[in-house]
Chain A
Amino acid sequence: MMIDLLQIAAFNATYAQTIDSDALEQWPTFFTADCRYRVTNIENEAAGLPAGLIWVDSRDMLYDRITAMREANVYEQQRYRHLVGLPIVKSADRANAVAETPFLVVRTMHTGETTVFATGTYRDRFVVEDSKLLLAERVVACDSSVTDTLLVIPF
């Protein structure tokens, strides 16, 4: 069966819920073991600049990010609400798919301050492994080049 839009949309919904409900230990399980994950902005992407605020080339690095967040880093309590749009499926077959999906992340601080923290698109490459849909690559291309204060919870 070919990977389809609905499958990717359902994947993204679960992905967003996992982050927003603070089940972050599960976040790496959406990726392949040798995944790529990068948070950048569209200006860097347009200019072909490879850097990322987060730059990952293994799933273990995703686990490490969550451990660091839980145990090491200092930040004020905050949570996200993702609104993830419908994916545009650029190509798909049984084992691979390329898609781009818009997102909005609203950040609520423990003080109650609620702001739009980021908007952008997920630029994704999916694969099927053991009949499970996984991200081989997710580039989080933020519309704005500005990050407020700090980025601790992943997008």
Chain B
Amino acid sequence: MNFTEELILSCPFPMVNHETMEFRDGLSHEVPAYCKKNFRRKECQEFHLNNTCEKPIECPYGFTALRVQGTFWQVFGMIDTSTKMPKERKNSNRSNVTSNTRITKWAETLKFQTQKIEEKSEQQTGDALYVLHDIRISNGQIKTNAEREIRNRNSGIDFGDAFDRAPSTLKSIYKASELLTGQLDMIDFYYNPSQITRGRKYYTHVYKLFDKIRRISQIKADARNIQLNMIGSSTSEAPLYESIAILPQILIDNAIKYSIPGGEVIISVTEDKRLINVSVSSVGPIIEEDEKELIFSRRVRGRYAEQSGVTGSGIGLWVASKVCKYNNVSLELKIEPREGMVNNTPISLNRFILTITK
């Protein structure tokens, strides 16, 4: 977030650097003589720095302290609300008095600036999203050309059979285009979650769906020397929205991405009378107990996933959780810590488990 000079200069409170806590701009306040004299050990400062509450609170010595946390900045403020204040304390704090007019002006400037930044960011996002429309069209052309080439090589039979007989290089172009479609769908679902329930529910063969994405993802697994194996069996179909297709893509993609070098990703699909059970498991950076729920939040990544150096946006699992929610599919994570470290990162067997009602 960039603030204009006007905003910084008008700030009636000290602004400090987020990481170093050094004074950055705004008005620097003198420590009142009363505090200097009575609280030499700077308990007040300690209290201020250790207090993470963003709502104004009263410090133990009668001042009301506030702390506002921004993305790159923090504002500390101290308002003296005590009416029965000793004269000595009142006098010593006089130099720090900020007028209400100045606070109001600053608040208005801040509001205006924030609004401008939000508008600009919304416009930029909108522009970027409209590019997606063109990307979809280009992707459609790639797919159409691949399909035509597949058809040209085998006419007079069903397109499905023609596809099966096509050379692998041609099929891999088609599969890459399908992966891109999935990634574009993920962006749609991220910005417009109501798209998750678009269209109608289809009876979906869950095993075949995961197997299809496994085959498409093989190229990525090979590039990382990861074994991608499918176990179990299931012949049942479940009524699901087509958005469900993004789920294997997110889970398998993540498992390949975070798996230890030379590791194995196991996709298991089994069923009983009522349920289809799917799990995607791999050994990768440990997900700690307190993160088990959090990693399904928007733009949140596990601390060891972050530390492992693997790039990620914290979007995939959030989208996966929404897709599950709208399709009445349960999604849970089971973690089994493993011995050893990879790239200074502790590891665990991470199993994402889906339960789908037939």
A and B co-occur in one complex: no
**Residue ranges of B at the interface with A (Cβ–Cβ < 8 Å):** none
